[in-house]
Amino acid sequence: MSSFATFYTAWGDQLQQLLRQLCSAPKPPSTQDHLHQLNHLVNKLLSHYSEYYRVKAAATERDVLDVFAAPWASSFEKSFHWIAGWRPTTVFHLVYTESSILFESHMVDILRGFRTGDLGDLSPTQLRRVSELQCETVKEENGITDELSEWQHSVSDLMGASTDVDEMMGRLATVVGKADDLRLRTLKRVVELLSPQQAIEFLIAAAELQLGIREWGMDQDRQSNLG
């Protein structure tokens, strides 16, 4: 097992522990202490994701093809991959889905003017800024996809006697680095647009999705190996 695979397993276990802390956080916050607690948890989660990408960057520099193959991930997890990880725009689908679910559950109260303060109660300004960020992210995502396509089209150069394989792997590592930077930056920028309570709810949904996909995928792989 590679060092990153060991890290990934431990990182996922820590994410599960942090998820339990998020779920037990006071929502909505009724005191300044509660608000401070929510902010602390949000920063804790973002630091956890930052650590993941810091370690992944080092692994990418060592062996970018291993990071692309992602032997530490289940087959189901890898089916969602875009350039060695999740698509940054997935964040926006998650925000809209969670917001819609919560809005419908509180629709009568919201229409009566009662503010719930959760993800179902996003303000017009928040919705506009999320939409603007989504457009920016789609543009960046498409640009990185084009860079990967250019790299793939240059694979014929590998047949040349003077091909610098290290240089080609370095270019691929740069593409992965840009994708990971966009993933983390998008996550942080979405959180910045939300209130502490909304950020907690969003991070809970993101962690549950990631852990749920991993657990189901690992279970499917185990069943396939038994068969």
Q: Is 12 left (phi over 0), alpha (psi -120 to 50) or beta?
A: alpha
Q: Could you report the per-residue pLDDT of 77-94, keeping only the tens digit for each?
A: 999 999 999 999 999 999
The count of other CB atoms within 10 Å of the CB of residue 76 is 16
pLDDT number for residue 53? 98
Rounded to 5°, the CA angle 46-49-55 comes to 140
176, 83 in Cβ contact below 8 A? Answer: yes
Q: Which residue has the tokens 């789609």?
A: 138
The pLDDT of residue 108 is above 60: no
Would the pTM of this model clear 0.85, i.e. be above it?
yes
- CA dist 64 and 168 (Å) reads 11
Segment 29-33 long-range contacts (CB within 8 Å, at least 24 positions apart):
29/196, 29/197
- CA dist 174 and 57 (Å) reads 10
Q: For the residues 64-86, what does the mean pLDDT come to? A: 94
The pLDDT of residue 99 is above 70: yes
Q: Could you report the per-residue pLDDT of 161-170, keeping only the tens digit for each?
A: 566 788 889 9
DSSP-derived secondary structure letter, 115: -
Q: For the residues 42-70, what does the mean pLDDT come to? A: 96
Q: Could you report the per-residue pLDDT of 181-224, keeping only the tens digit for each?
A: 999 999 999 999 999 999 999 999 999 999 999 999 999 988 88
pLDDT number for residue 166? 86
pLDDT number for residue 104? 64
Q: What is the mean pLDDT of the chain?
A: 90
Structure tokens that stand for 196 in this block: 């502490």
- CA dist 98 and 224 (Å) reads 33
The pLDDT of residue 64 is above 80: yes
